[in-house]
Amino acid sequence: MECGHPTTHTRTPLRVGGLSLLTLSFQTLGIIYSDIGTSPLYVLNGIWAPSGPVPSKEDVIGGLSAIIWSLTLLPLLKYVFITLRFGTHEGEGGTFALFQGLYPPEDNDHELGRTLTGDSTKKESSRSSRLPERFKWLLLIWAFFGTSLTLADGIFTPAVSVTSAVAGIAVAKPNVSGDVIPISIAFLVVLFLAQSRGTSTLAFIFAPVTFCWLILLAATGIVNIIKFPGIFRAFDPSRAVMLFVRTKDYDILAGVLLAVTGCEALFANLGQFNMLSIQLSFSCFVYPSLILAYLGQGARLIVDGESVLSNLFYTTIPGPTNGPLFWILYVFAILATLIASQAMITATFSLIQQLINMRSFPPLQLIQTSETVQGQIYIPFVNYTLMAATIVVVAAFKNPTALTDAYGFAVATVMFVTTTLIAIQMVSVKHLSIFIAIGFFVIFGFFDGLFWGAALKKIPHGAWVPLMIGLILMAVMIFWTWARGLEDKFDGNNRRNLRHAIVRREDTKSPLSTPSEKHDGIEYVAELHRKSSREDEQSKPPPTYYVLEDSDFQLGSEPDAILKALTRIPTCAIFHKLTTGPGVPHTFISFLRQWPALPRIVVFLSVRVLPIPRVSLEDRYVVSKVRTIDGFYGVTYNLGFRDDFDVQAPDLIDRICLLEAKSDPRGYAEVVQEIKEVARNLTHIVPHYVVQSKKIQGGKFSVVVNWCRKLLIEDIYRRISTMFPETENWVGGADKIIHVGINAEI
């Protein structure tokens, strides 16, 4: 029997329309696009170095043609109109979300999680994978590689963007060029410290700035285009092809790649907004503004040549160098680059949240910052780690040119990973024709491959840094997924039906004589309520309960040899189930074997976070009664994503009492009275496994394998899991929780 009102909400992509859609589209300007929107600061100088020769008119037109068609094919066509349609069923984006589309995670059945008895405690998978299991680890590692490089990109985006903007001061004030790095670091520190304000707050602050920045880019671009209207020939794609045929300079693509940095942020930030808002804002406003800006810079380079090559953004601003427009654009450039950094920071938060939810990353503390959008989060540990890493990168590379050499590799690699996973999803998930998938892969894989090859040549010049960071992060993800999987497998394999874990006898001297069922040679009680009268029940001595000493007893063993008596004590214990599943976890059985005392009331509590900001009291607790043993209850604790974890014992006990009243309308008063008295002594028990490495027997390399397993599981995984416990996001008082460690050989 159950009591409560189960909430059936599941998180879905955010759906808005009308004015709300326009508002959300405006907010995307402040979070998603400033990375790609600040590329005009450094792209043309990434193609033609300030210290190099002045390019010819045809070379400039060809370079701009490559930029225009790269922006059209990749951000606009591939990402905005195709990739955004491949988010998860919860509206999340990013390379890891693509993997989840191929191998969906199981839905936690919280009704099944309240089932402590039953013939089977094995949980059937609620979703079938779209691909054979033998490909799972291969694609998972590939997705990890793309995700890890996106996270590495979150370090280099702030470094490149901010230093490029601040470097403009050297154009107007050459005597302070040596202060560019300290000034950049100061701006970055302020940006990272502001993250705790939340995505929504920052978006409302940043969106107007980005809006003005893009308007200024478009306006200055139009003014500069007037000086050479022939620049519109860059829309002819053959100009880009002829550039590479004529110059045979493959390195030009490494500079063009800088124009499409931020593509992955469009997809990774999908969970913060939604598909339609991103499509509207990019195609209707961001894309045309960028095209006009690049065309204007190219026109000025053709007309003015060497006089503007030193810094093609700041020297092509209309008017005098120290004029009002110059300083207006300088201020907005700095603000826009800070916001550009915001795009990758929030994308990093979203990706880390996905990894934590998939148990592929340590459970860091997540702080919800929005009352309406569940995907808008803040992760303090990640924020400060990013800040430290970004400052180190800025200080180490010392100038924007060196940073841009290292910047594009991660971007190009992630784009190719995304193309691969989408092509597979087209066939296995979207059920499109294989010819469509092959066409998508060939076309976009070709362009991604061109950019990746150009970026690969930059590895000796600094691109090895994001590659190294990405490989380290990928190793962490693979290791944590493997180790956590072993622990979860142990937990699942050792769950027990409550009837098969605790034995009840009416009289310690008599055999098991109550109505019962047989299982592996031992009889277990099957029903608590007798058909006899309440007076007869009260006249009997209280039953004695036993816990099995050994879950793996052999058929025919003497029952008394494997039973340990449990003393029933007048307390209430809330036992937290860290994983959702049927039956009682191994940690509970082991806990009883170590401390052979059975509380009068035992509540098995599992937590469910719903995709709504807050849950009302009526929906907070869903209670199921266990009939096999008096005083056992399964409870689902429903939380909104903005609710704090705070189990209110009086509310929970009221729900239990209400359930008892429904169970026995005539004789519940005495039971309720007893429950309320016992509930005055309440304890939260939070178990965790103290993992130990299982020895592998046999084989030539068993000694080496066992040593490696022990190092990874006991010396590394155990220590990290202790530092970042599963209860990291529970905000209950530490004085109310008893942590219990149970040995587990995995």
Assign 3-class secondary structure to 335-403: HHHHHHHHHHHHHHHHHHHHHHHCCCCCCCCCEECCCCCCCCEECHHHHHHHHHHHHHHHHHHCCHHHH
Six-digit token string for 743: 């040995």
pLDDT of residue 241: 94
Strand bridging mode 632-640 / 597-610: parallel
Q: How far is CA 617 from CA 210, 605, 607, 620, in A?
A: 42, 16, 15, 5
The answer for residues whose C-beta is within 8 angstroms of residue 87's C-beta and 6 or more apart is 13, 93, 97, 267, 270, 271, 275
Computed over every residue of the chain, the mean pLDDT equals: 81
Which CATH architecture is the domain 38-101+140-488 placed in? Answer: Up-down Bundle (1.20)
Nearest in space to 272 (alpha carbons), one of 9, 584, 24, 521 = 24
Total Cβ atoms within 10 A of residue 546: 21
Domain ranges of the chain: 38-101+140-488, 494-745
Which residues are CB-neighbours of 13 under 8 A, at least 6 positions away? 87, 90, 91, 274, 275
Cβ-based burial of 77 (10 A; exposed 0-12, middle 13-18, buried ≥19) = middle
What size, in residues, is the chain? 746
Mean pLDDT of successive 10-residue segments in the chain (746 residues)? 55 65 84 83 90 92 96 95 84 81 71 64 51 86 89 83 80 74 88 76 77 95 96 96 92 90 80 84 95 97 92 91 88 84 77 82 79 69 91 82 74 91 92 95 95 87 86 94 91 83 61 40 38 48 74 48 81 82 83 86 85 76 84 86 73 88 76 86 85 84 90 93 73 60 88
pLDDT digits (tens, 9 = 90+) for 699-728: 778 889 999 999 999 999 999 988 887 765
The span from the CA of 477 to the CA of 473, in Å, is 6
Q: Which residues are CB-contacts of 726 (< 8 A; sequence separation ≥ 6)? A: 363, 578, 688
pLDDT value of position 78: 95
SS (H, E, C) 199-210: HHHHHHHHHHHH
Q: What is the pLDDT of residue 199?
A: 60
CB 549 within 8 A of CB 563: yes
Radius of gyration of the chain (CA): 31
What ranges in 398-550 are assigned the alpha helix state H? 400-428, 434-456, 464-493, 534-539
Nearest to 500 by CA among 560, 568, 546: 546
C-alpha–C-alpha distance, residues 483 and 22, integer Å: 45
Nearest 5°: the CA angle 22, 26, 29 is 150
- pLDDT the model gives residue 200: 61
Rounded Cα–Cα distance for residues 364 and 645 (Å): 15
Q: Which two tokens stand for residue 141?
A: 């590692």
How far apart (Å, rounded) are the C-alpha atoms in residues 166 and 181?
8
645: left (phi over 0), alpha (psi -120 to 50) or beta: beta
Determine the 3-state secondary structure of 563 from DSSP: strand
Strand partners, 3: 623
User: Does the model's pTM come out above 0.85?
Assistant: no
Query: 639 - beta bridge partners?
Result: 609
